[in-house]
Amino acid sequence: MRIRTVKAWWVQIPIEASRQHRSDFGQLKTFDAAIVRIETDDGLVGWGEGKNAAGSAGKYGTLVALINNEIAPALIGRHAGDITAIWEMLYNGVRSELASTSGHAMPELSRRGLTIAAISAIDIALWDILGKSLNQPVWQLLGGRKAERLPAYASGGWAGVDTIGEQLASYVEAGGFKTVKMRVGAMDGAPHASAARVRAARKALGPEVEIAVDAHGTYTVADAKRFVHMVADCDLAWFEEPVIADDKRGAAEVRAAGPVPIATGESEATRFAFRELALLRAADIFQPDPGFCGGITEAMRIGAMASAFNLRFAPHLWAGAPCFFSGLHICAASPASFVIEYSLGANPMIHDLVEETVDVEDGMVAIPDAPGLGFTISESFLKKHAQSC
């Protein structure tokens, strides 16, 4: 089961105009990701995904070039089942042999950002291959699943104060969701404008539906604290990314300022960053993105850390199929997981890129039983939307 080929594409799928929305990073007209295909010498194929941009927006030419030109050659001939060894080799770079014999990390300077995004894509694909080679779903290899279906929350909520309640109510009706998430922050301007939208949402949904909010890291510490006080009576499930991820002490300050649980982590890479969040008491909920944090291998380590610090775990899954399905397996196997993010925005990278149908019923999403990650990529659709890099 040796690695024979590694190929990455920048996949850019247009979003029809009627389903586009405007967020703090502008109007979303396409859904973008780096999608990776790894094939072994015995014909097994695994799919992975790497991310380097906010939400589904951004350019992926550099990440794809990194995977194809620098990382792929280092993987050819390696056993596809050596997942942890490959992860550490890519992370430590030229010091990988010394790090291995010494028993601790000695990473290169470029250990974060694009490098970890590339490692994430490779790691996800290798787990997919391992599951297929053993005819087992990945969750079984991670220790087994705790349930056949897990709770999901509807992620969206960009409408203005007059229609946000109607928009979120439509989510509840569409999938029976018990929890919804709406966007706040810079897209609204001042904190009081976001607070008004939150109050309108709570009034429309009543007390039975959980409401979470996501600022995408666009508040200052002072404005995040102002917002927390303004919505203190709205019984929010969590406040996601209140401030920029680089300001972990700022996040801790926001957490200490009010009663709303703080969730963060989609912009963090590796267990080392999450260790700092835990030690600083900066978060109640860890939200690593498998396509950026270091793949399935690292996400499971982060989930174990969340459990050790008595925190909860809800990976960021606004993503394409490889990342999203990875999240399903990770959550199924993690003791600290409690809910799965399900995009209610236009997401052709899940629904059109794969042959399977991904649905939520009664607020629950099914965990795949098929070998590997449990999806089938439409390679014709992928190649149709692959960009030249």
Per-residue pLDDT for the chain (389 aa), expressed as one digit of tens each? Answer: 999 999 999 999 888 877 776 777 677 788 899 999 999 999 999 999 999 886 567 889 999 999 999 999 999 999 999 999 999 999 998 888 988 998 988 887 777 889 999 999 999 999 999 999 999 999 999 999 999 999 999 999 999 999 999 999 999 999 999 999 999 999 999 999 999 999 999 999 999 999 999 999 999 999 999 999 999 999 999 999 999 999 999 999 999 999 999 999 999 999 999 999 999 999 999 999 999 999 999 999 999 999 999 999 999 999 999 999 999 999 999 999 999 999 987 788 888 999 998 889 999 999 999 999 999 999 999 999 998 76
pLDDT at 389: 61
Alpha carbons 158 and 164: distance in angstroms, whole number: 7
Alpha carbons 135 and 144: distance in angstroms, whole number: 14
Q: Quick check: helix, strand or coil at residue 39?
A: strand
Question: What is the rounded end-to-end Cα distance, in angstroms, of the chain?
Answer: 29
Number of alpha carbons in the 13 Å side-chain half-sphere of residue 283: 30
Query: Which amino acid makes up residue 15?
Result: I
From residue 362, alpha-carbon distances to 209, 272, 383 in Å are 13, 37, 35
Q: Which two tokens stand for residue 85?
A: 């060894």
Alpha carbons 188 and 185: distance in angstroms, whole number: 6
pLDDT at 95: 87
Alpha carbons 313 and 287: distance in angstroms, whole number: 6
pLDDT at 57: 73
pLDDT at 150: 98
Q: Are 266 and 291 in contact (CB under 8 A)?
A: no
Q: Which helix (H) or strand (E) holds 71?
A: none
Q: Tell whether the torsion through CA atoms of 269, 271, 273 and 277 is positive or negative.
A: positive
> Which residue from 190, 179, 2 is spatially nearest to 81, judged by alpha carbons?
2
Q: Which helix (H) or strand (E) holds 333?
A: helix 321-333
Q: Which two tokens stand for residue 266?
A: 């989609």
> Which residue from 271, 273, 198, 205 is spatially nearest to 233, judged by alpha carbons?
198
Name the DSSP class of 70: I
pLDDT at 348: 86
